[in-house]
Structure 1
């Protein structure tokens, strides 16, 4: 153990005590004098030869040992060759992409705390605008409220945003991009502005990579392989984009589902990046698994909704090529019946495909029944209608499939009704409805007092909230017996008269609007014709009731809809006094000329009773202006209405009534709630109120 310590001591640096001897401490002046230039004393000079051994210069040297070495006559050295290049090192050098020239940058202020410096020339970064919008929506700094952060918080979020920028650049195909992050203050140019901390990112996108090889697995083995490959619109050499991969994967999946491949599978895409070639090789395994046609529909509740009935509401025929949209449409159609609480549709193979022949699948429909009985009621009051109580009971599938029975009743100040109706939905085809209705009613309005018994039947193709039709129609007939008279005024009784009326009718509508309850674009055209025969007081009269309606809707800007409506109607073939009062034409009210009472517009007799007319013309215009309140659900609607009712079958426009006002609309999930306040502009003080209020569901037209 002593030797290592001694070695360590010899190698250690001298201390201050080692450099200053004890003699210097005892007599410092004497010790310092030896450094003043005077020679030292003889006894103080060390003899350098004292430790050397004395040698005799005449002594001979020892003989060297004998050595015998063969020296070659000729020496040939191999030629010098430089060391071979390391292929791995050479490849590494080639794999390093050249750094792009830094383009001129443009500062884009995302918010008061976040600035992006991006290439000013769009040639360097064509996706710049979309990139900024996307980053703005995902930035963690953007999520901070202005002024609600400090430098430390910004720095922490800036690191996350830097990674986000790099990921977004890769989404657009820039795998050699550079992002330089800095946090600090920034001059605003305004002396009173608060120069808080700002994060700046300088973004250099670099070279955009391109697609290399594209491997779509077994897609080429499908019968429609070439056409399906064209659906996947990515080719070698196209600019690389992760978004485009997702879009084209969806497009290919949709194309497979729409051309007969219900069991096709697509694996998640894999992208192999080659930095040396600045490209990405895409692999996305596709397994078509055969092409099929639809062989039928199978129901799990055949006594409730049979498979045969479900086939009638599907938009396909047996033997049609399978399409996923047809499967989804069948599911929606079953849901629209209102008879099920849940439904699933699953294709099942019943015959495999063979060479050149598609296989067959059956669509298995699994349903859960909903509650089928409904009891409904309503109580209301109106200034024109008085009190009104309505109740109904309905069984929506009492006569399967989709045969409903409904019993209803109304008790009110002006109307009493009792009726029963049978309705079969999807009868003979999709959204075709057969209805038979029998009722007895008593109605007492400003215009007439009628006691009626009627039987009415119709067969129609309807629009509904799930399936709005561009063209709908109705055909029907009715017979009725009605005992009527003009309303008693001032205690003066009017003679009653009984009419027996038979009618057939038809209605057709063209609808290009974008919504059934709240349209913003498009137009509607509706035509109605009803030949009728009326027998009263021993004589018969034949006439035709005609009506045409047109409405148009135009969106102006982002939140204003201009809407207009025209209506024209006429009764041809009989004088007005030979037609039952309840079958004549009237105007006035919330769906007609606002500001006037129901049926209050038109000619009156000597007692002030509205008599109705043989022709009618109405026009309305309104602006539906969004306010932004209640998350945009509330809008204000100024309107102007005009109309005229004439006694003859041709309008004479002798008296035109005008109404104006303003309303509000509150948008709900099932349509707007409407409240309109109208004022008659040329009112008759004897019959018209100064103001009229209307409340209903849906727009006025």
Structure 2
């Protein structure tokens, strides 16, 4: 029986080697041979991947000092790998041009090293005899691999220690510590006994948060945004919330908190806050191209700290339909001001104004919207928004010249669990919104509802293939369709609905040759994305859309569909997208259409 002395479990198990070696340069290392006895191919691959000597050869290392340093450090590196895989009786031999590396004098190195042979005899694998961590809070879940009879991998010991440490912190004990560890290897029956002893320390409450760096954002606003829970029971999740609240303002490039080394006499824990300001101003632009819809250009300018309270002011403009074949040019200009932590640390107030001129295939609209509201962050993945606004539009369509003046109450929820906002490979996204409207100039009232749901699933090693799906559904209710602004109604066709069909080509026929939007809408999209290289990918896709003439998908309606292939080129701001599509059903279009833009289609 042998007692193993491990380094503290907060660090990786290693055998450091310090060398002061004199020598001269030589030819590069020619041969490295690694042999693992016992026939465990997985272990052999792991050892070869971890080998410092193999890395030196792959890097073309020539200096014998560096090669010898790698060879001597190799004993510790490979021992670490053996321990991580449950082997505690291994023997490692490293021969440098036929001589054991550990016996070569470091002050008398050979002028040239051409071959290194490494032989590893791992011996028999060990299993856990005793596997214990105590004390731990009730309900603590330790790793499944840390139990009697399981393979005694050192990584499982580390994972068990980490789990116990985190559990104590989550239970309100920030100064919990591993105070004793007993690790004993019995080479007669190949078992390892691991006994870890924790001291939880006092249960603590949050004390004061002290800002340790200067910022252009006022201190009182920083405190309000952070919402530091002074007096509440300590939890690491509460600290994470503080950091996330400050980060999501966009006013800071770096946010970090540091816990005091010791608790105060009343068992409170003080925390230091360090901030680095982000550049206050930012601008950006975008562009899209469709063979039928024409060119679309957009740009924005934003200030992240307009009045010194992390207020965000954003102005954006858009011109679309430039040189389009089936509609005119559209113009949009808008501004939005947000103040974080207006009604508590997780609620942001905002005001907005938008103006637009839309020359669409079925109508021309000149509109203005203004309003105010608030956004509530419920969790890292769920947020909600409510606003009250005024909408005015001057319309020309199949019903003639009309104008609308309405009071609106838009309400929305967003549930976003995607792993990457620019190029998701897993997760889900759901945006649902409803907007009641009340006419202020003698027309009718009603409500509009819309939902956008997306799901992503990676397939194959490294998510080389990704299956993506999207469903869009909407409905609008009012007694008379003429009381509904045409921009509230639904059309199908184009890059954001059914690729391969002309933009807004599917609607509801009106009169002899007119077209208007439908009261209900359903669109289905699916994509199979495949990565060819780290930067280039291809996509096969199919879209279908349905527009009906009544609320909740009743009344007359029709379907159309399109499909095609796409090419993606990954960039730091999202993939460049090229899609080529054509119609596969319906009578709203024919011929091939091309779409070019930034970002995935959905």
* TM-score between both structures, scaled by the size of structure 1: 0.63
Q: Identify the residue that residue 637 of structure 1 maps to in structure 2.
A: 539
Deviation at 1:592, TM superposition (A): 0.5
Task: Tell me the distance in 2 between the aligned counterparts of 1:420 and 1:167.
Answer: 58
Q: What's the RMSD between the two structures over aligned residues?
A: 4.8
1:246 aligns with 2:147: no
Q: Identify the residue that residue 584 of structure 1 maps to in structure 2.
A: 489
Task: Tell me the distance in 1 between the aligned counterparts of 2:284 and 2:76.
Answer: 59
Deviation at 1:560, TM superposition (A): 2.7
Is contact 2:444-2:480 (8 Å) kept? no
Q: Identify the residue that residue 190 of structure 1 maps to in structure 2.
A: none
Is contact 1:297-1:311 (8 Å) kept? no
SS of the residue corresponding to residue 134 of structure 1 reads helix
Is contact 1:450-1:483 (8 Å) kept? yes
Deviation at 1:289, TM superposition (A): 5.9
Task: Tell me the distance in 2 between the aligned counterparts of 1:552 and 1:228.
Answer: 37
Counterpart of 2:309 (choices 383, 387, 401) is: 401
The structure-2 alpha-carbon separation of the partners of 1:135 and 1:459, relative to structure 1 and needing over 3 Å to count, comes to same
Task: Tell me the distance in 1 between the aligned counterparts of 2:139 and 2:369.
Answer: 63
Deviation at 1:360, TM superposition (A): 1.1
1:117 aligns with 2:25: no
Deviation at 1:475, TM superposition (A): 1.8
Q: Identify the residue that residue 69 of structure 1 maps to in structure 2.
A: none
Is contact 1:139-1:164 (8 Å) kept? yes
The structure-2 alpha-carbon separation of the partners of 1:678 and 1:292, relative to structure 1 and needing over 3 Å to count, comes to same
- 1:280-299: per-residue Cα shift (whole Å, max 9, x none)? 89898977664421134334
Task: Tell me the distance in 1 between the aligned counterparts of 2:486 and 2:124.
Answer: 83
SS of the residue corresponding to residue 656 of structure 1 reads strand
Counterpart of 2:563 (choices 660, 663, 669) is: 660
The structure-2 alpha-carbon separation of the partners of 1:576 and 1:353, relative to structure 1 and needing over 3 Å to count, comes to same
Q: Identify the residue that residue 205 of structure 1 maps to in structure 2.
A: 123
- 1:39-72: per-residue Cα shift (whole Å, max 9, x none)? xxxxxxxxxxxxxxxxxxxxxxxxxxxxxxxxxx
SS of the residue corresponding to residue 137 of structure 1 reads helix
1:700 aligns with 2:580: no
Is contact 2:260-2:270 (8 Å) kept? yes
Is contact 2:179-2:198 (8 Å) kept? yes
1:476 aligns with 2:391: no
- 1:616-658: per-residue Cα shift (whole Å, max 9, x none)? 222222222333x1x2x43322111112223333445653211
Structure ranking higher in strand proportion? 2
Deviation at 1:248, TM superposition (A): 3.5
Counterpart of 2:254 (choices 325, 329, 342) is: 342
Is contact 2:168-2:200 (8 Å) kept? yes
The structure-2 alpha-carbon separation of the partners of 1:663 and 1:302, relative to structure 1 and needing over 3 Å to count, comes to closer
Task: Tell me the distance in 1 between the aligned counterparts of 2:234 and 2:311.
Answer: 30
Counterpart of 1:372 (choices 280, 283, 286) is: 280
* TM-score between both structures, scaled by the size of structure 2: 0.72
The structure-2 alpha-carbon separation of the partners of 1:457 and 1:599, relative to structure 1 and needing over 3 Å to count, comes to farther
Task: Tell me the distance in 1 between the aligned counterparts of 2:430 and 2:316.
Answer: 32
1:258 aligns with 2:163: no
Task: Tell me the distance in 1 between the aligned counterparts of 2:526 and 2:422.
Answer: 17
Is contact 1:403-1:424 (8 Å) kept? yes
Is contact 2:545-2:559 (8 Å) kept? yes
Is contact 2:416-2:429 (8 Å) kept? yes
Is contact 2:549-2:557 (8 Å) kept? no
Structure 2 alignment gaps of length 5 or more: 3-30, 61-66, 97-114, 323-328
Deviation at 1:458, TM superposition (A): 3.2
1:448 aligns with 2:363: yes
SS of the residue corresponding to residue 496 of structure 1 reads strand
- 1:217-254: per-residue Cα shift (whole Å, max 9, x none)? xxx9xxxx564998888799998654344334433443
Structure 1 alignment gaps of length 5 or more: 1-93, 96-110, 120-127, 149-154, 184-196, 488-493
Deviation at 1:511, TM superposition (A): 4.7
Deviation at 1:302, TM superposition (A): 8.6
Deviation at 1:118, TM superposition (A): 0.5
Task: Tell me the distance in 2 between the aligned counterparts of 1:551 and 1:229.
Answer: 35
Q: Identify the residue that residue 553 of structure 1 maps to in structure 2.
A: 456
Deviation at 1:497, TM superposition (A): 1.8
> Please, which moves more after superposition, 420-429 or 267-276?
267-276
- 1:400-456: per-residue Cα shift (whole Å, max 9, x none)? 433233344456652334443221234434553322112332221222211112213
1:691 aligns with 2:602: no
Q: Identify the residue that residue 575 of structure 1 maps to in structure 2.
A: 480
Higher Cα Rg, which structure: 1
Deviation at 1:386, TM superposition (A): 4.8
Is contact 1:313-1:429 (8 Å) kept? no
Deviation at 1:524, TM superposition (A): 4.3
Task: Tell me the distance in 2 between the aligned counterparts of 1:603 and 1:430.
Answer: 47
- 1:78-121: per-residue Cα shift (whole Å, max 9, x none)? xxxxxxxxxxxxxxxx99xxxxxxxxxxxxxxx996553317xx
Is contact 1:402-1:426 (8 Å) kept? no
SS of the residue corresponding to residue 132 of structure 1 reads helix
Q: Superposition pairs for residues 101-250 of structure 1, below 5 Å?
A: 115-118=35-38, 128=40, 131-139=43-51, 168-169=81-82, 174-178=87-91, 201=119, 203=121, 205=123, 208=126, 227=137, 241-250=153-162
Counterpart of 1:461 (choices 369, 373, 376) is: 376
| Number of residues of Structure 1 aligned to a counterpart in Structure 2 | 538
Task: Tell me the distance in 2 between the aligned counterparts of 1:278 and 1:555.
Answer: 41
Deviation at 1:699, TM superposition (A): 3.1
The structure-2 alpha-carbon separation of the partners of 1:430 and 1:288, relative to structure 1 and needing over 3 Å to count, comes to same
> Please, which moves more after superposition, 448-457 or 319-328?
319-328
Is contact 1:114-1:141 (8 Å) kept? no
Q: Superposition pairs for residues 48-87 of structure 1, below 5 Å?
A: none
Task: Tell me the distance in 2 between the aligned counterparts of 1:204 and 1:394.
Answer: 61
